[in-house]
Amino acid sequence: ETGVTQTPRHLVMGMTNKKSLKCEQHLGHNAMYWYKQSAKKPLELMFVYSLEERVENNSVPSRFSPECPNSSHLFLHLHTLQPEDSALYLCASSQDLQGRYGYTFGSGTRLTVV
Amino acid sequence: GENVEQHPSTLSVQEGDSAVIKCTYSDSASNYFPWYKQELGKRPQLIIDIRSNVGEKKDQRIAVTLNKTAKHFSLHITETQPEDSAVYFCAATHFGNEKLTFGTGTRLTIIP
């Protein structure tokens, strides 16, 4: 484990379901990120949080709702998703917003929307 | 904003040969360029990075070069081995920016 843990690893949900993805880091990092990775757009940035404050929402549909209750935890709440939302969702953290020491990624949640 | 282009999208190399992946960026203010390796089914991992105050950096079989004038940087892998097979992503940012901008990835296959 690299210090960034994501759960669940796999998730299958219907279009009317509500589910949440969880990310946890104990690296003492101050910034956390959600990325969507699909065949069409690898590593597409969704949200950026710094010290629990959202600093960027990269034009993500409102059916994706992030939450950062503290600097160690990041959630992505999902509701009424579409099949095209099926992808690998990666959480990452970095020491600071500039990511000058690189990002540490979690293993991802493989999401399938049916 | 920053735009990073990466080439080629796929690359097959005979084991033992060298592999080169190239990236260009658009924001002249960018000064930090990391490379990530993502093996099949695994998370991206930082393998090497370079800052704009140097032109080349090496770590065993991996090297990265940076040409700030031309705004491009490259990853070089020598004496390739089967375990080098993966998807490689370049990225760029500058201190004061909020995020890394990633390239679209290169799928490297090492042929035994």
Distance of CA B93 to the CA centre of its chain: 13
Chain A residues closer than 8 Å to B47 by CB: none
Q: Give me the residue from A102, A106, A108 closest to B34, CB to CB.
A: A102
Opening angle at CA B89, ends B53 and B23, nearest 5: 55
- Residue B112 makes CB contacts below 8 A (sequence gap 6+) with B15, B82
Judging contacts by C-beta atoms under 8 Å, the chain B residues touching residue A98 are: 32, 93-98
pLDDT at position B24 is 98
Min Cα separation B47/chain A (Å): 10
Neighboring chain B residues of A2 at a CB cutoff of 8 Å: 43, 45
Beta strands A109-113 and A87-94: pairing type? antiparallel
Residue B51 dihedral angles phi and psi, to the nearest 5°: -105, 160
A65-71 long-range contacts (CB < 8 A, ≥24 apart) are: A66/A34, A68/A32, A71/A29, A71/A30, A71/A32
How far apart CA A41 and CA A43 sit, in angstroms, is 6
- pLDDT confidence of residue B93: 87
> pLDDT tens across A45-80, in order?
899 998 877 877 778 999 999 999 998 999 999 999
> B104 in contact with A at a CB cutoff of 8 Å?
yes
Cα-flanking dihedrals φ and ψ of residue B84, to 5°? -80, -10
How far is the alpha carbon of B102 from chain A, nearest alpha carbon, in Å? 7
Q: How confident is the model at residue A2 (pLDDT cuts 50, 70, 90)?
A: low
Rounded to whole angstroms, the Cα distance separating B43 from B37 reads 8
Among B42, B93, B105, select the one facing A98 at the smallest CB separation: B93
Higher pLDDT, B62 or A99: B62
**Percentage of residues of chain A with pLDDT beyond 70:** 96
What ranges make up the beta strands (E) of A38-86?
Answer: 44-50, 53-57, 64-70, 73-79
Minimum CA–CA partner of A38 in chain B: B104
